Amino acid sequence: MSVGFDRVGAVSDRLVEAGLRLAVAESCTGGMLAAALTDRSGASRFLEAGVVVYSNEAKERLLGVRPDTLAAYGAVSDRVAGEMAEGARRSLGVDVAVSITGIAGPDGGTAEKPVGTVWIALSDGERVRAHHYRFDGDRAAVRRRSVEAALELLNLYLADRS
């Protein structure tokens, strides 16, 4: 996976400068965000943990996503992304958590949620922000672009805190 090293560096540096601990909760990216963050030396200064929760049951059990939220909105939704981020932040005891849930394809898409639909959320204990994306391309492209979008979301959040 080739995620911009400078983007990872900017996020890493800002997290360290702010003294913030980060956790990530990933579904469709299967750990790629955590891998991108740990590709650069020194990740232990800011990264607490990464959790891959592919099934709905894992989202419920490990992150506290509510079954009624999954039933009402589906795993690929703003609400589930938000509950994933908040659950990771709370359960892992960190300052900030980012979650990614989506449909990377080539199967699984619907008319309402086509392949490439991704929700990324960030929780900092004060607020949960969920962002919707629609990425084109094959499975690898959707996953890579999801990680890049998560890093950009984190970077913007951290820049706004400065």
**Amino acid making up residue 160:** D
Q: Which tokens belong to 16?
A: 């360290």
pLDDT band at 6 (very low <50, low <70, confident <90, very high): confident
pLDDT of residue 162: 76
Q: Is 36 a residue whose pLDDT tops 90?
A: yes
| pLDDT, mean of residues 6-16 | 93
Say what the pLDDT of residue 13 is.
95
pLDDT of 39 higher than 60: yes
| Element spanning 133, H or E | strand 128-134
pLDDT band per the 50, 70, 90 thresholds, residue 5: low
Domains contained in the chain, CATH given: 5-157 (3.90.950.20)
* pLDDT-derived band at 151, boundaries 50, 70, 90: very high
Max alpha carbon distance in the chain (Å)?
44
Residue 98: closest CA among 62, 66, 130, 141: 130
